[in-house]
Structure 1
Amino acid sequence: MKSLLNTLYVSTDGAYLRLEGETLVMMVDQSKKAQVPLHHLGSIVCLGRVNMSPALMARNMADGRSIVWLNEHGRFQARVEGPVNGNILLRQAQFRAADRVETALELSKAFTAGKLRNSRNVLLRSARDSKDEAEKAQLVRAAKSLAVNLRNVGHAESADSVRGLEGDAARVYFEQFNTMIKPQMREEFEYKGRSRRPPLDAVNALISFLYSLLLNDCRSALETVGLDPQLGFFHVVRPGRPALALDLLEEFRAVLGDRLALTLINRGQLRSKDFDFRPGGAVMLNDGGRKTVIVAYQERKKETLQHPVLEAQVEIGLLPLLQARMLARYLRGDVEAYVPFLNK
């Protein structure tokens, strides 16, 4: 099994990354601020204004280490990587499968079932932790509603039907997000409904940032096994859109995104001081807030859990890679079905 190499997140404004022997060095205002051995790194993510020397970039390409640039909101800007070594036969199988309506529908159902099951578990977990009986009942009702949608997904006859059920479940789920936030934190973290580009409150800024980090991990996992992250089955294919990475992301939004966001809020690890509130209503994590989230995200990825299919303890950060491998096996015809990750 592949070891979980670190992803280096660089969010220091104006940082310059250069190569020094077998290490990456971060310079700020011509002063050395950090140094990391290259062999510890699986990828590098640069947030905001971060520059890199040509020598370091060339070394990363030679080592097969990807570099991603995100803006300060966590939105994707660019990706640099070396020659594509993916298995062409696997990609041919992927493209053929995408042309088969029944295969695309089966995979759409699997990705959506994983999302709904894991989202339902987040609701039930919050219900168990709630001290308010009325709120507990409210969360349980929402979980039951998602269970109905989950059953209906299995009987859906078209991808559009699956998307409709997923959209309805997402609406019910996010209607309860405020309820999952501890009462003492709700004034500071008032959730006003899902908003993107730009996020209009701190909760949206946080979960969107986490989703961006997770999407990058899903895309890297797919490329590692040789799949094309652009050609999806559930998300509509558009130029420049990593549709398959978005498909895989659905299984992990609740597990690695929402649960971590709720933990950071409910434990008081993030406060309003960690966000910038811009004129016009846009909200974004500031430099301190991003660092807190990145550290928590990296720590979460190092935790282990029992994988329901492999029946073994695995690091959480390896889950996207394991699911990408299972998807590849399904597309090659090695297994009869793709089983999404279902968190208990």
Structure 2
Amino acid sequence: MKKNFYLFASGQLSRKDNTLLLEREGRRKFIPIEKIESISTFGEIDLNTRLLSFLSQKEVALHVYSHNGWYSGSFVPRKQKVSGKLLVEQVKTFLDPIKRLKLSREFIDGAMHNMLRVLQRSSGKIPGYKDKIEGLKSTRERLQNATGINSVMAVEGAFRQYYYPILAGLTGQEFVTRVRQPPLGILNCMISFGNSLLYTRTLSKIYQTQLDPTVSFLHEPCEMRFSLCLDISEVFKPVIVDRLIMTLLNKAILTEDDFDKEMNSTLLTNEGMKKYVEYFEKFMEETVFHPTLKRKVSYNTLLLTECYKLIRSLLSEEKYKALHMWW
């Protein structure tokens, strides 16, 4: 099974014969490229076009982050799996207001179901659980009356305003509002970093299919952004990121020492990012029993399966049904 490779220190990454060579502080490390699905860099890495051509040839994505965990962008290989028919259907669905709205609602409804499921799994630890859940369910019902994309996003925003303070209570954190750039407070920091890891993982999975990552439905397509990743990631944020945050904080895997707190921002330290990434990878390889496939599948596989579900809905009359946590 291919792995995702993370580089936190500065150095030089190059092609050496038919493998990768990492050089830093006079030390050399060979990395078998056949075992790599993607590379994520968090330090200052020197590379050249020969390396990029090699990564493209081997279908290895390169994701670039700043030293403090800000996602900067990705180099993705030229797609080997392409389908003109699917691309046409993606664009036609985006241009059809009714079809686009239905898909957008489904992405958000799936996300809301999964957020509720996360809270239900910890119901005994939530004061006033019944009233809080009823409030969330009432907000979710408004989704079916949303008449446009902006309305869908507004309902989602209202839902998360109720949801995040409850999540904060489950992790012993203070939370006032969602602050992204830069994140303020430990919970905001962990949500932002986790979402960026999920975003790049979703991009890698999309590239294993014939979907075009630049044509989206909920999020507006624009230049220099793989917006379909944002659509699909919405469904999985509570399933993966929020549950991982609860584990990292409640088991004290990440503590105050793993964060740099400045006046207007909270950022993970280098060691904090390493811990987060380590447990993210472990989580993605955990399995659940899939009632349709009749076997255990990992969260990586669930992401890929979601892409194929979307493809089937675009190429047929089959309705797309976002992942709903059943476990």
Query: Do Structure 1 and Structure 2 share a fold, with TM-score over 0.5?
Result: yes
The CA deviation at 1:49 is 1.6
Q: Is the 8 A contact 2:59 2:77 kept in 1?
A: yes
CA–CA distance in 2 between the matches of 1:73 and 1:110?
A: 34
Work out whether 1:17 is the aligned partner of 2:13.
yes
Q: How many residues align?
A: 325
Residue 38 (str. 1) matches residue 53 (str. 2):
no
Q: Does 1:342 align with 2:300?
A: no
Q: 2: CA distance between counterparts of 1:140 and 1:8?
A: 43
Is residue 2:139 matched to residue 1:149?
A: yes
> Would you say 1:283 and 2:266 are equivalent positions?
yes
- Using the TM superposition, give the Cα deviation of residue 308 of structure 1 relative to its aligned residue in structure 2, in angstroms: 4.8
SS of 1:246's equivalent in the other structure is helix
Letter in 2 for 1:275: F
AA aligned opposite 1:313: K
1:27 to 16, 23, 30: 23
Contact 2:161 2:177 in 1 (8 A): no
Gaps of 5+ in 2: none
TM superposition score normalised by structure 1: 0.88
Matched with 2:229 is 245
Give the equivalent residue in structure 1 for 2:258.
274
Structure 2 CA distance for aligned equivalents of residues 310 and 114 of structure 1: 20
| Secondary structure of 2:191 counterpart | helix
Unaligned runs of 5+ in 1: 131-135
State whether structure 2 residue 220 is matched by structure 1 residue 236.
yes
Tell me, yes or no, if the aligned pair for 1:16 and 1:53 is still in contact at 8 Å: no
SS in structure 1 of the partner of residue 177 of structure 2: coil
Report how far residue 22 of structure 1 moved.
4.2
Q: Equivalents in 1 of 2:222, 2:51: separation in Å?
A: 32
Q: Which residue of 2 aligns with 1:296?
A: 279
Q: Could you tell me how far apart the structure 2 residues matched to 1:144 and 1:73 are?
A: 39
Which position in structure 1 is the counterpart of 2:211?
227
Give the root-mean-square deviation of aligned CA atoms: 2.0
The alpha carbon displacement at 1:303 in A equals 0.6
Q: Percent identity?
A: 25
CA contact (8 A) 1:111 1:247 kept: yes
TM-superposed CA distance for 1:54, in Å, is: 4.3
> Residue 341 of structure 1 aligns to which amino acid in structure 2?
L
Say which is worse superposed, 35-44 or 291-300, in terms of deviation.
35-44
3-state SS, counterpart of residue 67 of structure 1:
strand
Map of 1:47 onto structure 2:
42
Give how far 1:31 is off.
1.1
Q: Note the C-alpha offset of 1:328.
A: 1.0
Residue in structure 2 matching 1:95, options 69, 79, 91? 91
The correspondence of residues 107-256 of structure 1 with structure 2, limited to 5 A, is 107-128=103-124, 130=125, 136-181=126-171, 186=172, 189-256=173-240
Q: What TM-score comes out, normalization by structure 2 length?
A: 0.92
Where does residue 7 of structure 1 map in the other structure?
4
CA contact (8 A) 1:73 1:205 kept: no
Question: Deviation string for 1:110-142 (max 9, x for gaps)?
Answer: 1011100010111122223x2xxxxx3434432
- Show CA shifts across 1:37-68 (max 9, x none): 21111111112322335443322111111111
Helix, strand or coil: the match of 2:207?
helix
Q: How far apart in 2 are the matches of 1:258 and 1:235?
A: 21
Comparing 143-152 with 249-258, greater Cα deviation is found at 143-152
Letter in 2 for 1:157: T
Residues 137, 276 of structure 1: alpha-carbon distance in 2 compared, 3 angstrom cutoff: closer
Look up the match of 1:306.
289
Question: Could you give the per-residue CA deviations for residues 262-311 of structure 1, whole angstroms, max 9, x where no partner exists?
Answer: 11001000011111123x32111111000000000000011111235434
1:226 aligned partner, one-letter code: Q
What are the Cα deviations for residues 3-54 of structure 1, in whole angstroms up to 9, with x where unaligned? x521112122x1322334444333221213x443211111111123223354
* Secondary structure of 2:309 counterpart: helix
Matched to 1:312, the amino acid is R
